[in-house]
Amino acid sequence: MKPKVPDQLDKLLQLCLKKDRIAQKELFELFGPTMKLVCRRYLFDSSEVGEVLNQGFFKVFNKLSSYKGEGSFEGWIRSIIIRECLNANQKRKVNYLSNDWEFENVLKQTPEVDEINDLDYLLEFINSLPIGYRTVFNLIEIEGYKHKEVAKRLGIKEAASRSQLTRAKQLLRIRLKTKNGL
């Protein structure tokens, strides 16, 4: 449960700045579950979620003094976690440029949707996208980055970022139509 009053978060952050392990654990427990979901959305290899999450929080605690209170603290943590995920993918030499074969392959996959709600279906589908589509979709549509920023961060051209997003949206539309029997 996140602190409801900014003062509670400020007190917790002050204790974390003093390297208080109990406060650090509490901060991790507050934001860890949300950031774990972020890791799951971005990582190519889902077995790395725990490791990358821990590395990300290690950086959060080491860089906490650089947080100036501008913008949301959760957003600040999220940017660090996303950077860690992209770095982990980069170490694995993940290719963010998905090809037509991957596009066609995803079209053929139809997850069972009888007993799940639309949000679960949507998240399952987004996670089943090829890594390039998924990463660009998440960065632009969920996190709000611009194509220029995404291209620079992923080492691709801006046009490739736009193409990956377009393909991801096409697949999403097709899957939703298929699910709804249209």
Domain ranges for the chain: 6-91, 100-179
Q: What are phi and psi of 20, to 5 degrees?
A: -70, 115
- For domain 6-91, the question of CATH label 1.25.40.10 is answered with no
Q: Which two tokens stand for residue 113?
A: 């949707």
Q: How far is CA 14 from CA 19, 68, 69, 76, 98, in A?
A: 9, 12, 12, 16, 44
Distance CA 150, CA 140 (A): 8
What is the predicted pLDDT for the residue at 66? 93
**pLDDT score at 113:** 40
Q: CATH top-level class for 100-179?
A: mainly alpha
Q: Name the percent of the chain lying above pLDDT 90.
A: 42
Computed on alpha carbons and rounded to an integer, the radius of gyration of the chain in Å comes to 18
Sign for the CA dihedral angle at 153, 156, 157, 158 comes to: negative
Residue ranges of the chain with pLDDT lower than 50? 1-5, 103, 106-108, 110-116
Look-up: residue for tokens 């605690």? 61
**How many Cα atoms within 13 Å fall on the side-chain side of residue 142?**
20
Beta strands in 5-87 (DSSP E): none
pLDDT of residue 59: 96
